[in-house]
Amino acid sequence: MSVIRNILNSRSYKGGNFFNILTQILGFKPKTLSPYKKAFTHRSLNRKDEDGNAINFERLEFLGDAMLSSVVASHLFKAVPGGNEGYLTKMRSKVVSRKHLNELGKDLGLIQHVQTNIPVTQFGVNIHGNLFEALVGAIYLDRGYKYCERFIYERVIDPYVDIEQLEGKVISYKSLVIEWCQKEKKEFDFEVYEDTGNDELKHFAVKLRIENRVVAKARATSKKKAEEKASKRAYYALQSKIK
């Protein structure tokens, strides 16, 4: 199946098909296809240019991330004239969070067009956000800042950025709980303990202690996820205190 998929994907790079796909995704016609081809090339292909530089989307991710942050920061700066630096930074983090970028990449179906030697079913969820960032980077290289800004407004800011909703949106429950504990001078600890579950996939179990009292437990497929899950449970258990 992966071989068939790669053949089908490679066809999208020939003739006008890839151009048409991009035009539909972008909302405008690309001038040069090369940066977009790179934006959909995974490092598993091990492609290099004539100077020996790797051809894949990873460097474009870096550029796209910077462009997203710049455009969103500019929008928030104008939209919330009374917001201080800390407020604006938190709001920007909510807009360009990894979870949100993954959702954007999924909505655009970007993974359907990626060139890879690895079956797409083996990729983690972050591949969607990575491709979205790489696409933004490719837009900047192809059409410059104005087109990049236009794409970000149409795909990110206009449909998703609502100041009031963002103010109530929680990115990390763990950060909220830690911030509250530090503010209230309460000792806290995330304790990993033996998971006795019978799942085929290894799970991590975590106890969150505050002032030496277990306030929440959780298990997940990674320590980070288990800590976030336990923090969310603790947040709701202590919601009347954490503000």
Mean pLDDT, the chain cut into blocks of 10 residues (243 residues total): 38 67 94 96 94 95 97 95 89 88 94 93 93 98 97 93 76 81 91 73 87 91 87 84 68
Collect all residues with Cβ–Cβ distance below 8 Å to 215 and sequence separation of at least 6.
208, 209, 233, 234, 237, 238
pLDDT of residue 3: 35
pLDDT of residue 172: 76
| Residues identified as active-site | 65, 133
For tokens 């240019």, name the residue.
49
pLDDT of residue 53: 94
pTM above 0.75, yes or no: no
The domains found in the chain, sorted by start residue, are 2-164 (1.10.1520.10), 173-237 (3.30.160.20)
pLDDT of residue 237: 86
The residue type of 74 is S
pLDDT of residue 7: 35
Pairing type for strands 204-210 and 188-193 reads: antiparallel
Quick one: residue 27, left, alpha or beta (phi over 0 = left, psi -120 to 50 = alpha)?
left
